Chains A and B, each alone.
Chain A
């Protein structure tokens, strides 16, 4: 995805309109926003159709193993609106989205938006903190590894990163749970026994955050490290570095002032893409640690299957990915003058 994004940028680069000063940028931004909106719209339509094509009668599923009479079943169908023609259902769903109505969960029978809303913050906290740490550690290790190319440090770090990247997250999570032997809580985000007050409550959440965050971090950092490493390796033979060295700059400084900023671009893009895909990365970790986030909601909804929830999660996540992509593209333009002024 990083790759396609850069090619996309190259296409913009040769756009003749680009040279018309300020309007070029405005036009670029507007085009990108329009594209993003179109993508979200497409997701909504496809999502709706996809879930209608799936086999299964949701009502039959909801009442399975529960005593119900036909009148109750008819009421349910009416309440869920699935007794109407598909086109009407789509229109209801589509207009509902604009009113913030994402439908009602089949299983919990609550508004989907409420359910997504209360799960969003835990996921942002978990994936956000893991990402920030993973970026910091990944970049640092990546830079070191590339700079000492083919050294023992480089080979060891690359090997470790590749191994950790391929470790199944749930397995790693369980391993950490058993290994830490009760030092950290094994479930949830809050302890029912935590003392009231802001400080104890915050510490309590941090305490709960440690294991899931470390699990995600261990798996996440690898890609940042590897991308940073390869990207820096690409810069290492560039002429400007030779120039910098020729000026008598210390190696350390050549790296930090000259090579790293240039090599950072693909990584910045990657960070934003990852932020968009937060949940997909957290599904198994949230399940292992019973972390009350979006990943767990998705996991439960798939098991249901709770179609309105899945549909809502799809729209929210796809929108997040699209928006983060948009943001990355715009930021790329700010960060890299070569893209801005053709």
Chain B
């Protein structure tokens, strides 16, 4: 009888195998310190461990409550008051209060290093204060439309206030980033190898259903795909169309094709200028003619590019905000859309006086031959194949294209200096449209030294800048979206770029081990690299996890390896000793 309770204790002491979710990470981590972490994977880590004031919702990627339960703005839209959730605790037991949020933003205002990753959100801040534990008041200098989605992880003041230098390597340590309040808590970090998290059982939304989360660094996507097939990892993203197709229909593997955040485009050098309106670069002056640019744009068959170059894994292009952000995405109305039509383009050019020479190449009214350079990334398959298609189409409307695919740096140099005619480019966008729109404002152009440019197209247009400013200062979502769309329409009408497509993000996961990944936005969004933690937070392990079997398996393998090594050493040693013996006999 006395044995029974003991047996019970023993059973209780044997905890169930932890349910581990392993994510393949094919991009690097620079820092864990949320103030300096800039790479995509590092910001993901920040999303897993820290809560934000608000986060983009899972269903629509629109502002939704997180640490802030609610928020209000003053009539002049310059003062924002956030009501901070009560009862939330840091992992060391201290309460999370409005003072932590105020500390985070004030640190960014006073410390240059603290602005490294998310500085653009606070440059317009006047003051940040926490009058009590549940109230955060932010005053801005001008109206700022991004206020309801400040993409800044809130850190604990009692930990970070002790750190004088945010470049201190210690800020990437568990002693600092281990104290958190997000769905997961960081427990181990081996630089360049992996990051390990445990579920935050006290998380205010409820504990994640997975006990442990691991991000495993893979430098080679092909090796990562192999690891997924063999069950070494559970989720993977950034697949190429070929890899994605190969994984489709594989047993126990599910694929997820999600609209991406990135647009691909061809920029047309319309006679670009620096920020003081001084012409720069060596672009072909014929491209200053809008009719010619329209004809070029009309001769690029974006559907063929999506189907043939992207293998169908992309969406047709319109404005610079991808359809994943449906509230701000803009497509030209059928009447104003440029349809692929080589005959119409030829006619336009005939009418505009660009006459074909004997070799089939047109000559501009001034006598310049229509010979254009097309530059792009030499090492990117997309650029290589797109360049070939575009050169072929333009040849058919009497424009000769010289393909100049160059190294990334060289391309960056050429496009920054305006030394191109046509350039293949593209940007990844944010849920807030401000960034994608800012890339085409007059102010984003380079200064006289050719530095400081954040422009994409070199576009500079008072009408566009007007729409841009209005969307920036209009806090009503509907009217703001209206300005955002008008700005895109204006950009489109000037044919300074042709948005080719929006890449899909291609992902795959082990359907035999996990389900319930919450995509963002729904129904068709991505699992990883969200602007939130929904994908990984929602993961549900399938019944009994195979982690136990895995661990056992890998141990068995270890012992096999060790056994083989021992056998080799023994046999080898035996042979050597045998030979030595023989040699001794033969000694002179």
**Chain A min CB distance to B195 (Å):** 9
Of residues 88 through 143 on chain B, the ones whose CB sits less than 8 Å from some CB of chain A are 112, 115-116, 119-120, 123
**Chain A min CB distance to B541 (Å):** 16
Closest A residue to B223 by CB, please name it: A186
Of residues 169 through 211 on chain B, the ones whose CB sits less than 8 Å from some CB of chain A are 169, 188, 190-194, 196
> Which of A59, A108, A253 is in CB contact (< 8 Å) with B31?
A108
A23 CB–B CB distance under 8 Å: no
A300 and B28 form a contact (CB under 8 A): yes
A193 and B193 form a contact (CB under 8 A): no
B453 CB–A CB distance under 8 Å: yes
A64 CB–B CB distance under 8 Å: yes
**Chain A min CB distance to B577 (Å):** 15
A54 CB–B CB distance under 8 Å: yes
Contacting residues, chain A, for B452 (C-beta < 8 A): 70, 73-74
Binds A, one of B237-245, B310-318, B321-329, B557-565: B557-565
A287 and B219 form a contact (CB under 8 A): yes
A55 and B216 form a contact (CB under 8 A): no
B354 CB–A CB distance under 8 Å: no
CA distance in complex: A309, B427 (Å): 26
Closest A residue to B191 by CB, please name it: A118
Of residues 411 through 438 on chain B, the ones whose CB sits less than 8 Å from some CB of chain A are 412-413, 416, 427-428, 430, 435, 438
Given contacts A109-B167, A203-B558, whether A54 and B409 have CB atoms under 8 Å apart is yes
**Chain B min CB distance to A294 (Å):** 11
Binds B, one of A42-50, A161-169, A175-183, A274-282: A175-183
Given contacts A73-B451, A253-B586, A305-B409, whether A108 and B216 have CB atoms under 8 Å apart is no
B557 and A184 form a contact (CB under 8 A): yes
CA distance in complex: A181, B193 (Å): 21
Contacting residues, chain A, for B116 (C-beta < 8 A): 109
Q: Mark B568-588, 1 if CB is under 8 A from A, else 0.
A: 000000000000001100101
B341 CB–A CB distance under 8 Å: no
CA distance in complex: A273, B226 (Å): 35
Given contacts A57-B412, A67-B120, A253-B583, whether A210 and B551 have CB atoms under 8 Å apart is no
A69 and B219 form a contact (CB under 8 A): no
Most chain-B CB neighbours within 10 Å: which of A65, A119, A210? A65
Of residues 343 through 386 on chain B, the ones whose CB sits less than 8 Å from some CB of chain A are none
Tell me the count of chain A residues lying within 8 A, CB to CB, of chain B.
Answer: 66
**Chain A min CB distance to B147 (Å):** 16
A193 and B120 form a contact (CB under 8 A): no
B193 and A189 form a contact (CB under 8 A): yes
Contacting residues, chain B, for A61 (C-beta < 8 A): 408-409, 412
**Chain B min CB distance to A296 (Å):** 6
CA distance in complex: A22, B193 (Å): 52
A288 and B586 form a contact (CB under 8 A): no
Given contacts A109-B30, A109-B31, whether A289 and B416 have CB atoms under 8 Å apart is no
B454 and A63 form a contact (CB under 8 A): yes
Q: Mark B510-535, 1 if CB is under 8 A from A, else 0.
A: 00000000000000000000000000
Q: Mark B27-67, 1 if CB is under 8 A from A, else 0.
A: 01011000010110000000000000000000000000000
B438 and A67 form a contact (CB under 8 A): yes
Contacting residues, chain A, for B561 (C-beta < 8 A): 203, 206-207, 210
CA distance in complex: A59, B454 (Å): 11
CA distance in complex: A189, B191 (Å): 11
CA distance in complex: A194, B222 (Å): 24
B410 and A296 form a contact (CB under 8 A): no
**Chain B min CB distance to A309 (Å):** 12
CA distance in complex: A299, B217 (Å): 15
CA distance in complex: A57, B414 (Å): 11
Given contacts A109-B116, A181-B230, whether A290 and B410 have CB atoms under 8 Å apart is no
Most chain-A CB neighbours within 10 Å: which of B36, B39, B116? B116
CA distance in complex: A191, B216 (Å): 9
A89 CB–B CB distance under 8 Å: no
Of residues 140 through 193 on chain A, the ones whose CB sits less than 8 Å from some CB of chain B are 170, 174, 177-178, 181-193
A68 and B551 form a contact (CB under 8 A): no
Contacting residues, chain A, for B547 (C-beta < 8 A): 193
Closest B residue to A250 by CB, please name it: B586
B31 and A192 form a contact (CB under 8 A): no
Contacting residues, chain B, for A185 (C-beta < 8 A): 232, 554
Closest A residue to B583 by CB, please name it: A253
A-B contact pairs, 29 of them (CB 8 A): A56-B413, A57-B413, A60-B416, A67-B435, A67-B438, A68-B120, A68-B454, A69-B119, A71-B123, A74-B452, A75-B112, A77-B451, A108-B30, A109-B36, A110-B31, A118-B191, A174-B222, A174-B226, A185-B232, A186-B230, A187-B219, A187-B223, A192-B194, A192-B214, A206-B562, A207-B554, A247-B588, A253-B586, A290-B217
List 4 additional A-B contacts (Cβ < 8 Å) besides A67-B438, A69-B119, A186-B230.
A70-B447, A107-B30, A192-B216, A210-B561
Interface residues of A (CB under 8 A from B): 54-57, 59-61, 63-75, 77, 107-110, 114, 118-119, 170, 174, 177-178, 181-193, 203-204, 206-207, 210, 247, 249-250, 252-253, 256, 286-290, 292, 296, 299-300, 305
